[in-house]
Structure 1
Amino acid sequence: MTYPPELHTAVATHPYPLVFATVSGAHLYGFPSADSDWDLRGAHLLPARDLLGLHEPAETLEVNRDERIELDLVTHDLGKFARLLLKRNGYVLEQLLSPLVVHTTPAHAALMDLAPRTVTRWHAHHYLGFSTNQWSLLEKEERARVKPLLYAFRTVLTGIHLMRTGTIEANLIALNDTFKLPYLNDLIALKVGGAEKEPLPDPLDRYRAEHARLMADLERARDNAPLPDAVDERVVNALSDLLVRERLATP
């Protein structure tokens, strides 16, 4: 993928050294509209002096830019990112393992090597909760939109895939190569060819039973997953050692 120059500028002008920056959101999920914003996510390193004083450090940096394109940049300090990685957080797994890489480092590669060993069966709860929230948003809309419906399906399918394989797949087109749900390709085409707030042409009821079925499949996949209940302490120690090495190397 060719990235707009604004993404490279955002990386180059970040106030702290970046461990990585990847594209998330609709571009990662496989259904960006022409007017979709760019979601750039990653991890940075705060200098040790910022962490040693009395003042609480700002561990998360958010930058919103509305120039030629709309850009939303969010990065966490590596320490916070590592803690989130250990808390069955699907967001950070998807950001870390996104194939849409704008900036990378050896520390990013080390994190990616450790990432599969942080996955537990309880990551299913992240995807169950996310998909439930998206469906709730749909129920509240006067006229349901395509985007939250795709998010509802994307999250539940990513969760099922993770429980069955232990690997992350956030792209809905790739997921549907496996799940082969006939309505998804039409919905994706509608979103990609339309606008970010494209209305759903069908009644929401058409998809209700199907979403409920997939949610039940995710619960079964969680119960039968060949995954541990907790992260091995050796993985926690490896993440801690990585953080210390990178922190000490940061001016």
Structure 2
Amino acid sequence: MRTKTEHLQEAGLPVTDLDPVLAGERDPLVFVTVSGAHLYGFPSRDSDVDLRGVHLLPAEDLLGLRPPEETRSRMWDRDGVEMDLVTHDLRKFVRLMLKPNGYVLEQLLSPLVVRTSGPHAELADLAPAVLTRRHAHHYRGFARTQWALHEKTGELKPLLYTFRALLTGIHLMRSGEVTAHLPTLLGEVAAPAYLPELIAAKAEAEHVGAQDVDGTGVSRDVERLHEVLDRAQAESALPEAAGGLDALHDLVVRTRPTPRPPVTPSAAGRT
């Protein structure tokens, strides 16, 4: 069985020992996983490392008057590699789960695990309950945004993101499974035969142009996959609305650290 470090190395991560960095976080971490190009299966030699996860604020931070730090973000450079870590408080993350937000589910279910816990495993077990046909809207919208970026810049990266989003959405509608790894999806969903070549080309540099690409043919393939996604959504066995609210509510409540006891004057100090 592969170790965590071996799994991260196979995904092309240039730095795999991240525990010293995560040790500096102020609050407990429910999980941290790798997202972005490494998760999607087309990292470049100069790709940054996108870390995503969940932190756990103390209860008084949510009950008090000061705005809680529900989302945290920081960036740093380690051994010449740019990294960024974005985490949400558990309550906010679960609220995002209950929306048709494929992005947070990809983070939750990422096989590239840097930090885990019991609540992480419970969240993953509850993820199927929140999947709906409406998640197709998320992937459709993301694909259109990336396609517009590709048309504007001519870069290969947003083109691969376009195909990845469409194929992930199609696979989700058909199977009820969240799979973000583009090379894996090539074997699950009918995809253009040239995609492996594009993946190989991006390995050389993060912002390389889409060279020798038939723009008309690629545009036709993208629109075809949009049509496939539309049909897959219409025929999907997934429900229209998310479930699992009660179980997720229970998990959020019992995972939260208990409030610190209030500071009261001692009996000896009273007059």
TM-score (norm 1): 0.94
Task: Give the whole-Å Cα distance in 2 for the aligned partners of 1:55 and 1:107.
Answer: 26
Cα offset, 1:16, TM superposition: 1.2
- The SS at the match of 1:155 is helix
1:23/1:95 contact within 8 Å kept = yes
Which residue pairs with 1:61 in the alignment?
Answer: 72
Report the alpha carbon displacement of residue 204 of structure 1 after superposing the two structures with TM: 2.8
Q: Which amino acid aligns with 1:10?
A: V
Preserved contact between residue 37 and residue 71 of structure 1 (Cα < 8 Å) = yes
Q: Which amino acid aligns with 2:49?
A: W
Which residue of structure 2 aligns with residue 219 of structure 1?
230
Structure-2 change in CA distance of 1:243 and 1:213 (3 Å): same
Q: Secondary structure at the match of 2:94?
A: helix
Query: Could you tell me whether the CA contact under 8 Å between 1:17 and 1:45 is conserved in 2?
Result: yes
The offset of 1:71, in angstroms, is: 0.3
Q: How many pairs are equivalent?
A: 246
Choose between structure 1 and 2: higher helix proportion.
Answer: 1
Report the aligned-residue RMSD: 1.4
Q: Trace 1:98-113 onto structure 2 (pairs within 5 A).
A: 98-113=110-125
1:144-196 superposed Cα distances (whole Å, 9 cap, x missing partner) = 1111000000000000000000001100000001235311100000011x100
Q: Which residue of structure 2 aligns with residue 157 of structure 1?
A: 167
Find the aligned partners of 2:215 and 2:115 in 1 and give their Cα distance.
39
- The corresponding residue for 2:158 is 148
Aligned residue in 1 for 2:263: none
**1:161 and 1:169 in contact (8 A); partners too:** yes
Q: Which has the larger radius of gyration?
A: 2
Q: Runs of 5+ in structure 1 lacking a partner? A: none
The reply on whether 1:239 has 2:251 as its aligned counterpart is no
- Whole-angstrom distance in 2 between the partners of 1:187 and 1:241: 45
Deviation string 1:83-115 (CA, Å, 9 cap, x unpaired) is 000001001000000000000000000000000
What residue number does 1:127 align with? 139
1:82 partnered with 2:91? no
Q: State the SS of the aligned residue for 2:18.
A: helix
* One-letter amino acid of the structure 1 residue matched with residue 254 of structure 2: R
2:187 is aligned with what amino acid? D
User: 2:116 matched to 1:116?
Assistant: no
**Please, which moves more after superposition, 109-118 or 178-187?**
178-187
Cα distance between partner residues in 1 of 2:252 and 2:158: 36
Q: Which residue is 1:166 aligned to? A: 176
SS in 2 for 1:178: coil
Pairwise CA distance, 1:14: 1.4
Gap change, CA 1:250 and 1:120, over 3 Å in 2: farther
Identity of aligned residues (%): 53
TM-score (normalised: structure 2)? 0.88
- 2:92 maps to a residue whose letter is K
Runs of 4+ in 1 over 3 A off after TM superposition: 248-251
Mapped to 2, the partners of 1:237 and 1:44 lie a distance apart of: 21
DSSP-derived class of the 2:121 partner = helix
Residues 195-250 of structure 1: CA deviation (Å, up to 9, x unaligned): 00011112433300000000111111111100101123xx1010010000011458
